[in-house]
Amino acid sequence: MALNSAQKTNDLRPGMTYNEVVDILGSPKSTQMVNGQLVARWNLQEMWKGYVPYDMVFNSQDQTLISWEANEADFEKKQEQMKEVVAVMEETTNETIGGNVSATGPNDQQLMQQFAGMYYSFSAVGGGQTGGTERKVSLCPDGTYREFSETGYSGDAGTANAWGSAGQGGTTGTWRIVGNINEGTITTVSASGKATEYPFSRCGNDCIYFGNAKFALAGPAQCK
């Protein structure tokens, strides 16, 4: 879900059908029957807080919305679990990576939780060529990241000089962040020990620049 997607709950009304709720919030993360009622859960992003589980209770007969609320108990439980994971990650990355680059440094842990997510970018080419580069960057809340890129280009289609090329790539490592929700710096350290700084600036709720590349928030981070 997009940044501050929790505000979409303001559009909910008792009596709405299950499908109407899905139209507003998207597909739920899970559903189950509890005490004869259908309970669906969405993970919605709250600005300055992170992803919070919201439980929606529906009438099991006609699947109309009865009530909804943020499950603060589950949120706090997951936050405690995340702190334990981060503590382990900090112990692991406190040593030098690749023999010469440290993965540690200034880091805003709260901001890291807010920025965790999957980011997508596509850059196209012109000038008689077709194709472009697709990038997906998954910033995980435990301080690790995964990046995948795929490129494909072609030119002079329909002629004897037609050509094409394609390639794939991917990296993993750790990341840290300083600044605020609108601008700052993200530092990535690859598994090989290469550290790279990316100044970031927000261009909308779902839009952000990492360096000169424009990315869209595509959903929760994929960390497994």
Most confident among 48-62, 75-89, 139-153 (mean pLDDT): 48-62
Question: Pick the residue with more confidence: 32 or 130?
Answer: 32
pLDDT tier at 167, thresholds 50, 70, 90:
low
CA dihedral 120, 218, 77, 18 (to 10 degrees): -170
- For the chain, the residue count is 224
Question: What's residue 185's pLDDT?
Answer: 92
Q: Which residues pair with 40 in a beta bridge?
A: 31, 56
Mean of all residue pLDDT scores within the chain:
79
**Cβ proximity of 175 and 188 under 8 Å:** yes
- 172-224 pLDDT, tens per residue? 899 999 999 889 999 998 888 888 888 999 887 778 888 888 888 888 888 77
**Mean pLDDT, rounded, for 7-29:** 95
* Residues near 40 by beta carbon (within 8 Å), at least 6 away in sequence: 18, 21, 28, 30, 31, 55, 56, 58
Question: What's residue 156's pLDDT?
Answer: 47
DSSP 8-state symbol, 84: H
Q: Where are the domains of the chain?
A: 5-70, 77-219
Question: Pick the residue with more confidence: 46 or 164?
Answer: 46
Q: Is domain 77-219 annotated with CATH 1.10.287?
A: no
CATH architecture classification, 5-70? 2-Layer Sandwich (3.30)
What b/e sequence results for 115-150 when a residue is b if at least 16 CB atoms lie within 10 Å of its CB, and e otherwise?
bbbbbebeeeeeeeeebebbbbbbbbbbbbbbbeee
What pTM did the predictor assign?
0.50
Is there a common fold for 5-70 and 77-219?
no
**Cβ proximity of 53 and 42 under 8 Å:** yes
- 88-111 pLDDT, tens per residue? 544 444 443 344 344 457 888 888
* Residues near 157 by beta carbon (within 8 Å), at least 6 away in sequence: 130
